[in-house]
Structure formats: C-alpha cells, structure tokens
Structure 1
Amino acid sequence: MIRWLIIALNLSVAGLFADELAGNTGAMQEGEKKLNRLAGEASPYLRQHATNPVDWYPWGEAAFQKAQRENKPILLSIGYSTCHWCHVMERESFENEEIAKLLNAHFVAIKLDREERPDVDKIYMTAYQAMMGENGGWPLNIFLTPGLKPFYGGTYFPPTSRAGRVGFQEVLIQLKDAWAAKQQEIEGSADKIRQHLSEAYGKAHPSDGVPPVDILMMAGVKLLQHGDKRQGGWGAGPKFPQPSHLLFLLREWRRSGNPDILEFAKLTADRMAAGGIHDQLGGGFHRYAVDGKWLVPHFEKMLYDQAQLMDFYTEMWVITKDPTYAQVVKGIAEFVIGEMQAEQGGFYCAEDAQSEGKEGKYWCWTMAELRELLSEDELNVVTSYYGLTDEGNFYDHSDPEALENQNVLSVVNPDVAKKSPDLLQQAQVKMLAVRQKRVEPSTDDKVLASWNGMMIGALARAGAAFHEESYIKASERAYDFVKKEMWNGKRLAHRWHGGDLDESAQAESYLLMLQAARRMYEIRLNPDDLEWAIQLAEVAESLFYDREHGGFFESAEAADVIVRMKGDYDGAMPTAGSVAALEYLKLAEITGREDFQQLGQKTLQAQGRVLEEAPTSLTFMLAALDFYHSKHQRLVLVDGEGGKEAFLQQVSGKYLPNLTVMSNEGKVAEFERGLRAKEGKATAYFCEGEACQPPVTEAAALKLK
C-alpha cells in the first residue's frame, strides 16, 4: 500500500545512509544575483539558499495557501546549514536554471531547516522511510499534496541520472506529469500514508505494566553481540558514535557487573578518541566517520554530539581515571567554550564541514605543507604518530574539483607520544597556529534551547567531576541566557537568533532544558533550579503528554503538523519520550510528587512493546527503566558550618547513575524538608532503598558505592 506510488511512477531513488546524507523574489540584489524570500529568514541554512533561482518559500501559511490556490504539489526540501550533501545538491541542482524553471512553474518549493522544526522533519523523514524502505538522511526532498500529505521522496538527487541514481530533473518532470494525469490516485495514496503514520507512530502500543528489568540485560547482550569487536561502535561504516548506546552500557555494566561491557565501552572510547572523527588538534568531535575505522569523517561539528560525548568521556574518566579521557573532555570543553559560545552566553548549533567550498579543507594536511612548516625531526615524529602519506587518506568524491593528497589526522602510533612528547607537542603547536590562520568554516549561529540543555548539563557535570570552575561558569552563562531570553515564564522558545524567537513548541526543548535545570539543581542545590525544573515539567505535560495512551509527542498540536509523532528510536539525539521518562521519575524522587511518578511510569509503559521487542532502539529510555528498577540512592545535604562543597566533591568523583542529590530547601519532598543540620554543621543523609546510614558531618565519613 505505502509503496504503490513509487511503483506506478517507475522511479528508482536510493537514499544515502548517513545522519546528514545521513514574496517578491526580485526585490533585492546581491552582486548580480537576485535574493529570494529566504534572505529575510533567521535560519542560516535558509539564508544559504537566498540567491538560488528557485522561488523558495519558508515553511508557513503563505506557501501552503499558494499550493492550494494554484493546485500544485509541494517540494519540501529539508536540511541544515552544516550538511555536506545539502551543499552538494544546492550546487548541482538548486543553482541550476533549468531545474529552477521546472520547480517554479509546476511546484511550490519550500525550504525547511530541520533544526528549527524537528517535529516537521520527524514526520516527513518517517514517511520517507515508510515509503521507500530506506534509512533516509539529509537533504530530504519530499513531495507533498497541497494538504501537506507526503506521496514521494528522496534524499540526495544528482541533477541528471547517473550511477544508478535517478536525476532530479527527471523526477520533477515525471511528478508534474503524474500530478496532471493521476492527481486523484496520488491524493488517495497520500491519505493512506498519513493514516499509516498516525496508526504506527502517533499512538502508543503499551505493555500491561512497566517493562521488566530483564530487558536491561537483553539490551546489553544485543549491543555486545552486534558491536564491532576490533574498532568499537556498531556497523561496518558509515560509523556513528551513538552516545545513547554508550551511556546505557555504562549503566548496565554497573548494574550487572559484566566486565565485557566495560571493555567494549573502553574499546569504543579509545578508537573514537584516536580516530579522525576526533579533532586531534582543536578538540571536539566531527559528526560521523564514512568508514568503519573512525578515520575519515564528515567534518561538521554538532553541539549535541559534543554534549553527549562529553558526558560519556566524563563518566569513562570517573570510572577508569584514564588521563586520555580527561584530555578528550578538556578538548571538547575548550572547543565549545572558545568557538561555539555566543557573547550573550548561549551555545551555537554547529560548525560547517566546508571552508572555501571544500569539505575538510580547514582540518586536513598535505605532506608538502608540513615539510615547509616543521623541522625534519618534528616532521618525522608527526608523520609516524598520525600515519601521514604523500597520497593522503581522504579524497572528496562528491566534489568535481576535490583537493588532492589530503591527510586526516588520526593516531596510528601512540607510542610516539611517549618516546618524543616534546617534539610532538612542538609540532602540534605549530600546526594549530597555522590552522587557526586558515579560512574558518562557517558557524550556524542559531541558539536552540534543546541542544543548549544538553550542553549545559554536560559541562556542569564535567566541571564538577574535574573541579574545573570554568566549565561550570560557561554552563551557568548558557543556562541564565536561555532562562532570561527564551523563557517568558509560561512558554519556552525553541530557537533564538539575534534576538528573534520562534513560535513553535518543541518537546525536545522543554524536556532537555528540564534535564538541564534538574542537573544544575543536583550540582548547585539552588532551590530556584528545582523550581524552574518543576515549571518546565508542568508546561511540558500540558503541551506534549498523551493523556489517552501515555507517552510524549514530539510536537504540540499545530495546524501545520499532520501527525503528532512519538519517537521510537534514540539516534543522534534521544527522543522526547526517552528524556521525559527519566526526568519525571527523577523529579518525583526529589519532590515526592506522585503525579510526576505516574508520568514517568506511563511513559515507560507507553513504549513497553517497543522496549520488549527491540530494546536497543530506545537505549536512552533504558536509563529510565534502569532507574525505575534500581535501589534508589538519595543523598540529602543540609547546609551548615563548613558548607556542602566537600560532600558535593565526593559525589562528583564517583559513578553513581541512580543517585539523586537534594537539599532540604525549596519544593523537595516533605520528609527531606524536615531534616536538620547536626550541631549546626553541614550534614549528609544517605539512603539506599529503604536502608539509611547515620547522618554524617564529615565528607570522609560518607560511604557511597
């Protein structure tokens, strides 16, 4: 049923497996190019297309009305500013005058930044996957009826057919002809696709109760079975970090005590840290590797990757005390604070893969460059350490004029750093200084509440673990910015750009900022943080919770949302429901509120069948399931002489994923509010399950395990 139209149109479109593969149009001038209506948009991605000859519309009522008035199908083209294949398709197709004429005459063309409207992107990516039976990726080019219902789609199209891929020009011609001849059939197929989405992804499929604890062990076993035992991670390539998997594995190692789980996590951490996916000079991680060895990345750097991988490497350091992991965290922090934090405090979205129009140019090296820059001894050390060659290890086959002899830096001979540390450091300092003089990749300078929430929590946790005040201050600046500029006391904006706020309500922003507020509370024990977490939780419930079936929708009710989706896969980012499950359970622990406990439980139950049938699809939600089934650890710190800092430092140095830290002030549970300091000194009360230790006034006497 879903694939009917694809067969009827006789089109063959292969998707790219990747996470990013995977008005008056003539009113203004820029040089010799006309600016289209995207020039006035806040999104850097949309503004990248402002000089295309395509008569682009932003997602909104003007475009929808035009399609209905003129009875034209819609091309919805979705991407983001740092997406490599989006750049390629723009260069090849959206700058092409002939293709633009076809689009302008027979379609209403809409450009959408997936980061601004993740809810809309989720609908149409899921529709594409259902129609085509493929993983999908970006750019996503999906064709809609004037009523916004999808009927055909693809990811990257070359301008004309080549190498087994149908050309974009041919697609447009066939679709315009099909719309003219078979509109009624297309509309009928689109109705069925929308119905399928609603039934399969818009409703919960609950289990009879909260899924059993056995699912945690099953998920751990499956992740190990399917893991790459030589290179770490999952899959033969392209290879993604998948931090939700990694963070769950650490929890499952603590729960089960299985040493194989920790060994696999270490293998993955080590291979990623040594690979080209890790920026060896400037810190931080690129989006993913195109191969199975973590060597050649797509070079964009996303804020959400930095946040989740900072969490993972912080916890790896807490568990193992391996200094390599501390260096990785330091590199991420320095990159994010130095390159991605706005003057106002918020964190920007991403850094592009391209500079001067070339993928990886900013990060790669030729041997010719290094021979001019380094002494003979430094060159020998660097060549051996990074495994550099004259031929290079990276060539961009998507670029008709690709740079040659490019080397991505990856650690292939780590012993060099032990034998010649001074020479290696001298060379790296020289290389970094030269790199900083190159033309830098562009930065997507939107501030998203959701991604900032992730980064705020990760930086605060790392700052506490490493006793690094600069990390905590940076997280506090971002936290204060979001609270001041993006929260009006009743609603949280999803996107800020130069003072402009969007009006969409995105579940991921509410729930990830709830996560940030709760994490800040546990680190600072400021009652105001708990108060904001509660406010966000209450508004999120009213906007996104499914009162009939349980669980959380990704979007609020809106006229431009044809299906309210529930996420069923924790991929590059966790779904809203996965974040909600843990956060409401944690808030229930702190506040004693039964309604929060029920929200957490019903969210787990709403995805019960998914967890039972495919537990590794929702590994972030498994963290909530682990918390639900664990012997909860509660530490209540009561202020007094000497202060609480020594207790907090002891907590931050241990891996205690199911510990909840709270004070006796603010909107905490009634029992905790009644606790008092002993003899006027700061006092710690620690309980696990139903057993409590005697209260202590010295941090050394606190026994945490």
Structure 2
Amino acid sequence: MSQTDTPPATTPTPKHTNALASEKSPYLLQHAHNPVNWLPWGEAAFEQARKADKPILLSIGYSTCHWCHVMERESFENEETAQVLNEHFISIKVDREERPDVDLTYMTYAQAVSGGGGWPLNVWLTPELKPFFAGTYFPPEDKGGRMGFRALCLKIAEVWKDDRAGVMERSEAAIQKLQEYIEDEQKHHDAPFDAVMKKAYDDVSNAFDYHEGGFSGAPKFPRPVTLNLLGRLKKHLALKKEESESNWAVAMGKTTLTCMANGGIRDHIGGGFHRYSVDGYWHVPHYEKMLYDQAQLLTAYVEGYQHTGLKSFATIAREIVEYVKRDLRHPEGAFYSAEDADSYTDETRTTKGEGAFYVWKASEIDELLGKEEGSIFRYAYGARRDGNARPESDPHEELKGLNTLFRAYSPKKTAEYFKLEEDKVAEILERGRKVLFEARCKRPRPHLDDKVLSAWNGLMISGLARAAGALNEPSFLELATQAAQFIHDHLSDKGSNLRRSWREGVSTVQGFASDYALLIQGLLDLYEAGFDVKWLQWAAALQEEFETKYGDPEKGGYFSVSKAIPNSVLQVKEDYDSAEPSPNSVAAMNLFRLARMLAREDLRERGEKVLRLFGKSLEESPFTVPAMVAALDFSHYGEVEIVLAGSKDDAGFQALATAVRSRYLPHAVLLHADGGAGQAFLATKNEALGAMKPVNGQAAAYVCRNRVCQSPVTTVEALNGNLDL
C-alpha cells in the first residue's frame, strides 16, 4: 500500500499472510493478506506445481485496476473460495505492469480462445506453464447463466483429475497452433505507401464520432496514437494537394481534443486525464489515472496546439505537466505509474468507492463557494442537485446524487445566462477551481502505485521534451532530464543492462522490448530538446543492446516475449498500437531517426525490415497500427536534417532553436553543431556535419533534404522560409 492508502493504525493484525508479503509490487502487496496461498511468478512456484502435480491458477492484474479490486473482495478474500484454490491449485499472482511478458503471453492465448481480454486475467496452466483455460472477471456465484468463480474452479479441478492426458494434449496443441498463427501473420511484405496512407485516412474517418469526437462508441478511449497519426495524415494530404482531406484530418483531431478537454475524463480541478469514459460522450470516466495516458496526451495536446494555435490546448498541456509533477513524481525525478480509481469515501477509511476522491455533491459546492458563486460554478460544470451521471453511465447507482465535473457551458455562455461580464465569470470559475482543489486535498487520496517503469518514464520524457520546445518551457526540459538521469542511475548499470522497474530498489527483472523502445524514443526527443549529446549516445548504445536481446536478425523486428526469457512459452512480436504504442512501431521510428542522425545505413535497413515484417498489418488494417503508419510515413519523407551551429547560450542560436521547435516537423531530425565534443561525435558518423559552423560569428541553421544542404541562414525569417519549402 502507498502511504496515502494506509488504513488507520487501529487496524487489527491480518488474519492471513502469504508469500506476496515479501514482494515490492504494490499490486502483489494488495493481495498479501488474502487467505489464498498466493505465490509470486518464479521457479519456486513452478517447482511446487510440478511436485504437487497440480494445475496453476495464474491471476494477472495491476494495483489501480477496479475490477481486480472487485474480484479480490468477492472471491480472493472469501475463505471458502480460498480453500478450493489452496486444495486444488498452485495460485500465482502477477503484476502485469511489472511482468508484461507474462501478461502478453497469456493475454494472447485468452484473446485467441475467447475473442476478448482484460483485467483481471485468470488463466489455468499445466505445471509446464501451458494454458488450457482462461477468462477475465468471474462473479463469485453463478449469475445470469454464467458459472461462478468457485464452481468454475471445482469444475476445472474435476477435469484435471479425470482427463489429465486430454488437458495436456489440448494445451500443447493450442500453444503450437497459436505460435504458427502468429508467425504466419508476420511474413515479409512491402506495403505500398500511398495505399496505406489512404486506407489509414479512410479508416480513421469512418471510425470518427462526428458529434462527440473520438473513434469509438462507449466506452471511449483517448487513443493518443491515433491522434498523433492525424497530424502526419494532414501533412501527407497537404503535400498531395488534397486540401479538403488535409483540413478534415486536423478537424478530427481538434474536435476530439476539445471534447475530451470539456468532458469529465479530464480532471478540471487537479489536472490530468482519467483512463477512459464509460459513456460515449467523455462524461463519466473510469477514474484511474495512468502515467502513460498523461505522457501521450501531453504530446497530443502539444501537437494539437502546433496545428491549430489554440491556446487552450497549450494550457491543458501545462496542466498535465503540473499534475504529473505534483502527484506522480519521485523526489529524485522519476515518475510513478498510476493513481487508483477507488478511494475511501470518508475519514473512517472503512468503505471505498470508485471516483470518491473526484466527485461532488451540489451542496458541497455551494457550501464551499457560497450560494451565488456556487450556482454559477455548478452551471458551468454541469453539477446538479440530483447528480449528473446518466443512468446508462451508472447502472449500479454508485454515483447517485454525485457530480463529475465537466465543461457544460463556456464562460461566455455562463455569463450570458447569469447576465454577468465574461471576465467576472472567468474569475469566479478560476477561484472556484482553487477552492475545490484545496478542499479535495483534505479527502483520503486514491492509492498511488509508486513503482517506476522504464517504458512509461520513456513516454513521459518524450512528452516533456516535446512540450518544452513547442511551448518554450525550459522547466519541462529539466523535468525530462531528471527522469532520464534517474533511469540511467537506478535502472541500469551505468547505462547498460536496462531493467524494467524500480520500487524501493531496482528490480532484477530485465527491461523488455517496450522499455528499450520507449526509453530510446524519449532519449532522442530529449537530445533534440536540449542538445546534450550524452542522451543521443545513450540512445544509440541502448539500440544495440536492444538488438542483441530482442532483435531477430533473420526476419527482423523485435520479440516482446522471447525464448531468452526463462519459462517463455510463446514468441511474440507485437504490432498492435493500443493504450501504448507497440515496441515494434516505436522501434521502427527510432531506427529511422537514428539512421538520419548518425548517417547509418544499417539502421535504416533494420527499420525497413520491421516495416516489411508487418506489411500485412500496414496494408490491411492501418487503423490498428497507427504508430507503425507514422514510422512508414517518416521513412518515406524522412530525409530532412536541420543542423543548428553555434553556442546554446547565444541569443541568436536560441531564437533559431525556438523557431524550429515551435513548428510541427514530423519528417525532420534536429542536430547541434556545437564546435565541441558533441559535434566531434556526430562528425565521426556524418563527416559533412563536421564542417558546419556559425556564419560570420552568428549562429546558423542548415536545412538539408535528401543529403543536399541549403546555404546556411542566420535569421528566423530566412530559416522559416527554408522550412516552408
């Protein structure tokens, strides 16, 4: 448990304690006092299963997972259910954020056999770790024609006893067929660029919700990977002189970002975004807050600002940074993983409710703000006397009489309704947000998952670095730098042998494909944002380590789960860009960027090999791989290098750098000819860069396309002219 989630000191000594009590994962510690004899994933548990000749119940979740909490209360804390599990199974708990390899393996199986997945994920395995049955949440008792969890466990135990050979045979065959299917889907194919971009645009347009924004009905997920693709589609379509389609690509992004910003999925009081909305109009969210969402939405709002010039998007980006800095940051600079959806409903700390920290009674708002200003605030933010959750968004009436704040009316509309000046209303709303924030800080906070993940910190480093340049916020660059330094110092051996996680000390679990890919991306963005060459050098070194550990030199691409990892039963190369972009999508982009920065043809060829490996996905279903489409787009247009020559401290240099970083330049890499060690390093890779210098003592910008450089320029006006070409 985090400090903020600790029960009162009067809590009695737990009746049960299992082997998870010695773990560091917040999720595993949440289950340390279940009556179930949980074991952590590892050889000790597997050996116990083999000796006892029992099947394994593998239960996977994470500490801020609402339905994981529900199933724990209903089943894993139940003495009778625990007795069944302890008698018939070896029960293993896994934090999917700590062991994404285990999660991916068995989620792939679950999705193949049932067509769906999610958390908690419950999978039954042979002692050899081969799965033979899987599901997600199960009710405790039979309900609505669905077998209850305890009855299901007894049935599985009976089948294991009566048909052991059949279970073993079927599990072996299932894994073999699944591996064959995975490999069959990934055969080299050159996806035609124009056709991929056209289908990507058509698929996104067809999925777009014209009224509410986003790309699905309820539940509605932000899906930043799709938002980020829209900017590239805009640029591509403009280059092809398809202005109407180009403008529509921007409009889809603008509408979605605006609707999310107005909705309850955004925390209007404390900043940041919740995981998703349970409805189709962004109003009632699933209230957990994940670091990877904040990181990617930061980039999405920054790019939205670059496309539209809307100051509100820049404001939201700054609010995200303020939230993450305040509530998700380790004192030494790294970022924690998440905050829970559930929290105690009052100071007695006896009952938890989803969203309890975030929702309001109308009477509370009036009491805090006064009747007059409370009425204005409630009107603007949609707070009603009887609560504002629609029945379809709150089927269990957990939010009855409560309000999730959303922007129901703009300050202008609110001013018109109350016959006040707009500036006056804006002041009232600003004051109201501050008062409610202070009041909310006195409530019991949601549980904080305070582990540090390399992959998610990589995403946050990217978001901060890009925001620092686009919004001209040097403090953001400092936050990104401190996070990168933490990962270097605490999750690697002086830069090598990257590990997955840190919590009260480094984990022994090695970094996975997503950790390498996303951290490398973050380091490249950090270099471009601040020109400290050590980050570029570390990125290049990590890429080679990534290649050695996860690369497939024969077929290309990167394994997320490899035979090199102990107890792996599947070899998987991910391409689906979901809540996080897939490691192969990110790796492809990293390879192309590094190839341009370091003039290394071998890296470009590796990137092309990744694209060919996933050519079928690119051509047939680009909507599922938008980050891969972005990499394809960069490979097609990415022969642009912008080199700034001069001292970073020079005012002219800073003006040129600001001009470049403020623009949306999806096909360019940015390099620094500093006349010192950084330029010397780059010149060993790219001889031409060694000759780039200031002009007549003034900082200069060199814009190079297809390895042909224009004459250097020293003014922002001339640089903008070169960039507009």
1:337 corresponds to: 325
Contact 1:204/1:549 (<8 A) preserved? no
Structure 2 residue identity aligned to 1:384 = Y
2:338 corresponds to: 350
Of 488, 491, 502, the match for 2:497: 491
Secondary structure at the aligned position of 2:356 is classed as coil
CA–CA separation in structure 2 for the residues paired with 1:546 and 1:271 = 42
1:471 aligns with 2:476: yes
Contact 1:249/1:265 (<8 A) preserved? yes
Deviation at 1:524, TM superposition (A): 1.6
Secondary structure at the aligned position of 2:193 is classed as coil
Deviation at 1:417, TM superposition (A): 5.9
Of 402, 405, 427, the match for 1:409: 405
Of 615, 623, 636, the match for 1:616: 623
CA distances 1:83-125 after superposition (whole Å, capped 9, x unpaired): 0000100011000000000000000100000001111111111
Of 651, 657, 665, the match for 2:666: 657
CA–CA separation in structure 2 for the residues paired with 1:54 and 1:223 = 46
CA–CA separation in structure 1 for the residues paired with 2:41 and 2:105 = 14
Of 693, 703, 710, the match for 1:693: 710
Deviation at 1:658, TM superposition (A): 0.9
Secondary structure at the aligned position of 2:54 is classed as coil
Of 379, 398, 402, the match for 1:384: 379
Deviation at 1:49, TM superposition (A): 0.4
Secondary structure at the aligned position of 2:444 is classed as coil
Secondary structure at the aligned position of 2:593 is classed as helix
1:360 corresponds to: 355
1:242 corresponds to: 223
CA–CA separation in structure 2 for the residues paired with 1:532 and 1:218 = 37
CA–CA separation in structure 2 for the residues paired with 1:221 and 1:689 = 30
Of 154, 157, 169, the match for 2:138: 157
CA–CA separation in structure 2 for the residues paired with 1:30 and 1:303 = 34
Secondary structure at the aligned position of 2:138 is classed as coil
CA–CA separation in structure 1 for the residues paired with 2:446 and 2:671 = 43
2:7 corresponds to: none
1:575 aligns with 2:575: no
1:284 corresponds to: 272
2:21 corresponds to: 39
Normalised TM-score (structure 2): 0.90
1:684 aligns with 2:701: yes
Of 368, 371, 396, the match for 2:366: 371
Secondary structure at the aligned position of 1:35 is classed as coil
Of 82, 85, 103, the match for 1:103: 85
1:672 corresponds to: 689
1:526 corresponds to: 532
* Structure 1, unaligned runs of 5 or more: 1-28
CA–CA separation in structure 2 for the residues paired with 1:204 and 1:646 = 49
Deviates more, 1:311-320 or 1:685-694: 685-694
Normalised TM-score (structure 1): 0.93
CA–CA separation in structure 2 for the residues paired with 1:218 and 1:119 = 32
2:298 corresponds to: 310
Deviation at 1:561, TM superposition (A): 1.4
Secondary structure at the aligned position of 1:517 is classed as helix
Deviation at 1:73, TM superposition (A): 0.8
CA distances 1:160-197 after superposition (whole Å, capped 9, x unpaired): 01134321011101100010011111111111221122
**Residues 168 and 456 of structure 1: is their aligned pair in 2 closer, same or farther, counting only changes over 3 Å?**
same
Secondary structure at the aligned position of 1:661 is classed as strand
Secondary structure at the aligned position of 2:569 is classed as coil
* Structure 2, unaligned runs of 5 or more: 1-10, 239-245, 345-351, 416-421, 674-678
1:590 aligns with 2:601: no
CA distances 1:597-616 after superposition (whole Å, capped 9, x unpaired): 11111001110111111111
Deviation at 1:699, TM superposition (A): 2.9
1:53 aligns with 2:35: yes
CA distances 1:385-411 after superposition (whole Å, capped 9, x unpaired): 112222213489999894631111111
CA–CA separation in structure 1 for the residues paired with 2:392 and 2:323 = 25
2:510 corresponds to: 504
CA distances 1:106-150 after superposition (whole Å, capped 9, x unpaired): 00100000001111111111100111122x110011111111111
Deviation at 1:291, TM superposition (A): 0.7
Deviates more, 1:444-453 or 1:559-568: 559-568
RMSD: 1.9
Structure 1 residue identity aligned to 2:669 = T
CA–CA separation in structure 1 for the residues paired with 2:444 and 2:373 = 25
CA–CA separation in structure 2 for the residues paired with 1:213 and 1:401 = 50
Deviation at 1:495, TM superposition (A): 0.3
CA–CA separation in structure 2 for the residues paired with 1:340 and 1:236 = 30
Deviation at 1:643, TM superposition (A): 5.9
CA distances 1:464-523 after superposition (whole Å, capped 9, x unpaired): 111112211111111111111112132101101112323233011111111111111111
CA–CA separation in structure 2 for the residues paired with 1:151 and 1:265 = 43
Contact 2:14/2:33 (<8 A) preserved? no
CA–CA separation in structure 1 for the residues paired with 2:469 and 2:507 = 32
2:251 corresponds to: 263
CA–CA separation in structure 1 for the residues paired with 2:445 and 2:112 = 39
Deviates more, 1:417-426 or 1:437-446: 417-426
Secondary structure at the aligned position of 1:33 is classed as coil
Deviates more, 1:496-505 or 1:335-344: 496-505
1:197 aligns with 2:192: no
Secondary structure at the aligned position of 2:163 is classed as helix
Structure 2 residue identity aligned to 1:360 = G
Of 603, 606, 611, the match for 1:599: 606
CA–CA separation in structure 2 for the residues paired with 1:212 and 1:353 = 42
Contact 2:277/2:285 (<8 A) preserved? yes
CA–CA separation in structure 1 for the residues paired with 2:477 and 2:216 = 36
Contact 1:636/1:661 (<8 A) preserved? yes
Of 475, 480, 484, the match for 2:485: 480
Of 645, 659, 662, the match for 2:654: 645
Structure 1 residue identity aligned to 2:126 = T
Contact 2:701/2:713 (<8 A) preserved? yes
Structure 2 residue identity aligned to 1:171 = L
2:242 corresponds to: none
1:226 aligns with 2:207: yes
**Residues 652 and 618 of structure 1: is their aligned pair in 2 closer, same or farther, counting only changes over 3 Å?**
same
1:4 corresponds to: none
**Residues 242 and 299 of structure 1: is their aligned pair in 2 closer, same or farther, counting only changes over 3 Å?**
same
Contact 2:28/2:93 (<8 A) preserved? yes
Deviation at 1:697, TM superposition (A): 2.2
